[in-house]
Amino acid sequence: MSERGWIVPIGGAEEKLRNPRILKRFAEVAGGPHARIAVVPTASRMPDTGPRYVKLFRKDLGVAEARTLDFQTRADCEAPELLDFLREATGVFFTGGNQLRLSTTLGGTPVTEIIRQRNREEGLDVAGTSAGASFLSEHMIAYGNEGPTPRADMVSLAPGMGLTEEIVVDQHFAQRDRLGRLLAALAYNPRPIGIGLDEDTAAFIDPEEGLEVVGSGAITIVDPSDMEFSSMDSARPHEPVTVIGVRLHVLAEGAGFDIPSRRARLPAAAG
């Protein structure tokens, strides 16, 4: 029986030098010293982004192989040599930048088709930081305004890569005051849960959809499954939106959340 790979959204600004525990943990789940990691820097316009992560994975974290797959145009997404490595990789890492560059460049290409199929059927582990984190799910927050109160027109959604339809991700969460826009995104459609990722914090989602928090910050889980009311359909532009019946959890390192049952769990030491 095939097993889905890990899905690992990271809130951005993850520690890379002194204690790169998030990147180290991802390297471990992707195969440790046998891992072959494809770094996809499409979201970034900085030419050194991909090589910097390749160096981290290879020299600092000791994986067998890491390579930048520089998909800068949709034509690049047909390149046989790049796709061949993607088919052989044990892990894929999406860097930060602009999530719309990811969706407009990679959406509907062999790149996303291969990653989706291999994550679902072959256990390919996939992580993304900042913009890369937003891109992992079916519904992606493209952009929006900051603030704690949800407002109409506060957030714009776009299709993501579609590894999971169970979550909507926002990043740099506490640092950029993004609770309002995550609530606004869920007020449109309260089916998925919202995951607000602080910087240097990751949600390691295992093949059974259990989530574990890793990193120095916290993850805010917004669970709208018992939402009683949302005024999003009648709110005027920029008006506050009424949302009733949403549950919220704030989870630090070691705590977890079971996505299918919508239940939070304590860190092992607190149990």
Strand ranges in the chain using DSSP code E only, listed in sequence order: 7-10, 36-40, 65-68, 91-94, 125-129, 139-144, 155-159, 167-170, 193-197, 201-205, 210-215, 218-223, 229-230, 243-244, 247-252, 256-258, 263-265
Residue type, 43: A
Decide if 44 is catalytic.
no
Distance CA 159, CA 167 (A): 13
pLDDT digits (tens, 9 = 90+) for 132-185: 999 999 999 999 999 999 999 999 999 999 999 999 999 999 999 999 999 999
pLDDT bucket at 271, cuts 50 / 70 / 90: low
In degrees rounded to 5, what are phi and psi of residue 24? -65, -45
Q: Which of 6, 11, 43, 45 is nearest to 25 (CA)?
A: 6
Domain positions in the chain are 7-260
Mean pLDDT, residues 83-90 taken together: 98
The amino acid at residue 246 is V
Which one of 103, 130, 137, 230 is the catalytic residue? 130
Q: Are 256 and 218 in contact (CB under 8 A)?
A: no
In the three-class reduction of DSSP (H, G, I as helix; E, B as strand; rest coil), residue 38 is classed as: strand
Half-sphere exposure at residue 204, Cβ-oriented, CA atoms within 13 angstroms: 19
Q: How far apart are the C-alpha atoms of 15 and 23, rounded to whole Å?
A: 8
Topology (CATH level 3) of domain 7-260: Rossmann fold (3.40.50)
Which residue among the candidates 103, 134, 137, 172 is catalytic per the annotation?
172
The answer to whether residue 139 is catalytic is no
The string of pLDDT tens digits covering residues 206-243 is: 999 999 999 999 999 999 999 999 999 999 999 999 99
Active-site residue flag, 34: no
State the catalytic residue, choosing from 14, 139, 199, 230.
199
pLDDT at position 167: 98
3-class state of residue 122 by DSSP: coil
pLDDT of 269 higher than 90: no
Q: Render pLDDT for 20-64 as a digit per residue (tens, 0 to 9).
A: 999 999 999 999 999 999 999 999 999 999 999 999 999 999 999
Where do we find the tokens 């195969």?
A: 31
